[in-house]
């Protein structure tokens, strides 16, 4: 009985967040080609400004670190559109006080890559994360999600 309780507590506290990527069209960046980034919230999901800014900043930094982000949109060969379908993050206070009873964090999106000259879709992936653990903060969930987006776009 003690082992069962210990396992339940461990799962409740740590959760098992993982980024899920369902690639419809693989994207392989070519040497020297750069990306521009647009994040859309067409579904009307309510996103706090600070979390939206963190999401955008971390994607841009990840692309930049991989040499993929164009300095100016007009210098990019590919347009990346991140369509947010679901964006639900628990407050850090509720995460710590009631843990998994506060629900789960969930970010779900479609990442589309278009060739800017032909306007042809050359990449498409559903990227999502679900985190139900009690430890951690919302910024860590955003970081895991943005790492998934950057991994797809950098083809790593």
Q: What is the number of domains present in the chain?
A: 1
**Tens digit of pLDDT for each residue in 80-121?**
999 999 999 887 776 667 666 667 889 999 999 999 999 999
151 contacts 65 by C-beta, under 8 angstroms: no
Other CB atoms within 10 A of residue 36 CB: 19
- Quick one: pLDDT at residue 99? 63
Q: Return the percentage of the chain with pLDDT > 70, whole number.
A: 82
- CATH number, domain containing residue 33: 3.40.50
Which of 125, 75, 70, 90 minimizes the C-alpha distance to 15?
Answer: 90
Q: Return the percentage of the chain with pLDDT > 90, whole number.
A: 60
* CA-CA-CA-CA dihedral for 78, 87, 126, 67, to nearest 10: 40
Show Cβ contacts of residue 79 under 8 Å, excluding neighbours closer than 6 positions.
Answer: 35, 36, 38, 113, 114, 116
* pLDDT > 90? residue 30: no
Spatial separation of the C-alpha atoms in residues 147 and 141, rounded to whole Å: 10
**Tens digit of pLDDT for each residue in 38-57?**
999 978 888 999 999 999 99
148 contacts 22 by C-beta, under 8 angstroms: no
Domain limits for position 106:
2-154
- Quick one: pLDDT at residue 18? 78
Phi-psi region of 42 (alpha: psi -120 to 50; beta: other; left: phi over 0): alpha
Show Cβ contacts of residue 108 under 8 Å, excluding neighbours closer than 6 positions.
Answer: 84, 85, 86, 87, 126, 127, 128
DSSP H or E segment with residue 85: strand 78-88
């Amino acid at each position: 009985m003690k082992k069962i309780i210990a396992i339940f507590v461990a799962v409740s506290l740590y959760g098992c967040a993982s980024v899920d990527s369902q690639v419809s069209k693989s994207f392989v960046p070519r040497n020297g080609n750069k990306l521009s980034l647009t994040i859309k919230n067409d579904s009307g999901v309510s996103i706090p400004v600070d979390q939206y800014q963190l999401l955008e900043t971390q994607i841009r930094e990840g692309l930049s670190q991989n040499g993929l982000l164009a300095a100016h949109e007009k210098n990019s060969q590919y347009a990346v559109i991140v369509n947010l379908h679901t964006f639900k993050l628990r407050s850090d206070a509720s995460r710590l006080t009631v843990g998994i009873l506060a629900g789960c964090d969930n970010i779900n999106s479609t990442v589309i890559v278009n060739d800017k000259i032909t306007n042809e879709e050359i990449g498409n992936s559903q990227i999502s994360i679900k985190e139900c653990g009690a430890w951690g903060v919302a910024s860590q969930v955003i970081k895991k999600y943005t790492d998934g987006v950057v991994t797809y776009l950098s083809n790593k």
